[in-house]
Amino acid sequence: MGDWWQTYFETGGWQRVQLGVGAEFDDPGQAEAVERALALEPGSTVLDVPTGTGRIAIELAARGHHVTGVDLTGTFLQAGREHAAERGVTVDLHQGDMRALDLEPASFDAALCFWGSFGYFDAAGDEAFVRGVAAALKPGGRFLIDTPATETVFPRLKERNWWEIDGVVVLMETQYVSGTGRVETDWTMIAPDGSRETQRSSIRLYSLAELTAVLERAGFTSFRASDDELEPFELGSQRLWLVATR
């Protein structure tokens, strides 16, 4: 569905939702789970892409890791820099396209792609991103992808759903398009004053086997799949956490 992501995150409604996530999610708990999933040694170099507001990157930095975050949306990056300064931690946050990472080769111990941010592009774009991460990792480096998968979505797929964060009501109308393997969602954000914004996203849904194949083509050689509580991954799990080793 075209390059929907180029403008999607620039709308006021979604930016309010994204900025509210950092206040409501258990960042310390998620960062601890990421540390465990990636088996991070003290002082590891970590790449977080796309980093959004840097909510995971900042927590990892607070735990002593050296973190670089990349994101396309300047508003989120600025919010991340301000939050990092408030926390007194150093995180390298910079703007860029995740399909064209401009990073020192073999310079990271680990990388993560968090909160369902994989599958935005066509097949070539998704594979370009994975190759860029592989090139940035040291030999033996690990890459965590946190994503919905066919095994997590199909057992509980709802055509309509809603949730609320920071006073914004988020309405979702979702369909799975079997011909493309993509989940197409119309998002309506209703602000506290009653104003509405509607956006559409289009995200490729991979099975565990399909995502593993993408990573293998980029040079990853071993894989460990779990859910977001680091329990064995199975049909009906809430999320897929796939750790691939370079």
As a whole-number percent, the residues of the chain with pLDDT over 90 amount to 83
On the CB side of 18, CA atoms within 13 Å amount to 23
For strands 196-204 and 182-190, give the pairing.
antiparallel
What 3-state class would DSSP assign to 66?
Answer: strand
Asked if 106 and 138 count as a contact pair (C-beta separation under 8 A), the reply is: yes
CA 90 to chain centre: 21
What 3-state class would DSSP assign to 160?
Answer: strand
pLDDT of residue 226: 98
Look up the CATH superfamily of 5-149+207-245. Answer: Vaccinia Virus protein VP39 (3.40.50.150)
Task: Report domain extents, the chain.
Answer: 5-149+207-245, 153-201
Listed residue (94, 108, 155, 114) closest to 22, CA to CA: 114
Asked if 11 and 63 count as a contact pair (C-beta separation under 8 A), the reply is: no
- Residue type for 186, please? D
Q: How far apart are CA 60 and CA 176, in angstroms?
A: 35
CA 2 to chain centre: 20
pLDDT of residue 246: 96
Note if the pTM is more than 0.85.
yes
pLDDT of residue 16: 76
Instruction: Tell me: pLDDT of 84 over 90.
Output: yes
